[in-house]
Amino acid sequence: MGKFFVLPDQIKENRVEITGSDVNHIVNVLRHSTGDRIQVCSKGYLYDCTIDEISKDRILAVINERTRMNTELDVDVVLYQGLPKGDKMDLIIQKNVELGVSMVVPVIMERTIVRIEGKDVRKRVERWNRIALEAAKQCGRAKVPEVLPPVSFKEFLKHSKGRIKIMPYENEDEFHLKKLLGSVEKEMKLSFDVIIGPEGGISSQEAEEAATIGFVPVSLGKRILRTETASLYVTSCIAYEFEC
């Protein structure tokens, strides 16, 4: 049975409107027709539906049942990722969505090498959000995490609102991430902000500035991890520690 994500305004009363590329996928790839059942996800709910009408650019389906999905992490994790070179961001987004992050924010940092400007920003962000969507579909998530346009380091400092702020830092060799997570009292809805440096890591100036708003420098162990590995390490540890 096919499963598709829709926006809340595509659900009205007991009907769902499906548009865009999903129409072609439902009709021409999955070969569905009227009377067939599909599943629709929106804002943490799963809707069991029956296709009622099919046209060239939209599908209308009747909702049979709505159930709350229980596939999200029990904590919110926002990943602030120092913008890396090449297509590393694709992997970072895909795997962190699978692991449960709630949002990804690329950050242009002191040691960021790549520069994205003008139309390239829009194209890149659209690509990243498509990757997030496909990853969310593949792993059965209830929500699709948003990937925001890149922000400056100063904008990141203003944007960060998480209660627990984690900063893997290569110059920190005593306070391990494990100790930090073990000291956190488990509550109904914790929120984590994680800042990961690009290739070359977080500069000393950036580390000092992040610390002023509550980011805790932590070690990820005896080995130096690549930027694309570091985020997955942290997200995995958070999921292991707090997922019921």
* CATH code, 199: 3.40.1280.10
Query: For residue 29, what are the domain limits?
Result: 3-68
pLDDT in tens, 38-58: 999 888 889 999 999 999 899
Q: What integer pLDDT is reported at residue 1 of this predicted model?
A: 63
Q: What integer pLDDT is reported at residue 244 of this predicted model?
A: 65
By CB atoms closer than 10 A (0-12, 13-18, 19+), residue 244 is exposed
Give which of 57, 54, 35, 46 is closest to 11, Cα–Cα: 46
Same domain, 117 and 165: yes
**How many structural domains comprise the chain?**
2
pTM, whole model, 2 decimals? 0.87
CATH number at residue 60: 2.40.240.20
Q: What integer pLDDT is reported at residue 119 of this predicted model?
A: 83
Q: What integer pLDDT is reported at residue 188 of this predicted model?
A: 66
Give the mean pLDDT of 114-143.
90
Q: Is 70 exceeded by the pLDDT of residue 121?
A: yes
Same domain, 170 and 231: yes
Q: What percent of the chain has pLDDT over 70?
A: 98
Rounded CA separation 5/240 (Å): 27
Q: What integer pLDDT is reported at residue 38 of this predicted model?
A: 92
Same domain, 114 and 21: no
Same domain, 55 and 106: no
Same domain, 85 and 198: yes
Q: How confident is the model at residue 153 (pLDDT cuts 50, 70, 90)?
A: very high
Q: Is 70 exceeded by the pLDDT of residue 2?
A: no
Q: Is 90 exceeded by the pLDDT of residue 168?
A: yes
Q: How confident is the model at residue 118 (pLDDT cuts 50, 70, 90)?
A: confident
Same domain, 94 and 150: yes
Same domain, 119 and 181: yes
Q: Are 225 and 196 in contact, with CB atoms under 8 Å apart?
A: no
Same domain, 155 and 83: yes
Q: Is 70 exceeded by the pLDDT of residue 184?
A: yes
pLDDT in tens, 69-90: 888 888 999 999 999 998 999 9
Same domain, 60 and 88: no
Q: Where does a domain end: 18, 41, 68?
A: 68
Give the mean pLDDT of 2-23.
89
Same domain, 118 and 213: yes
Q: Where does a domain end: 40, 68, 96?
A: 68
Give which of 109, 70, 104, 78 is closest to 198, Cα–Cα: 109
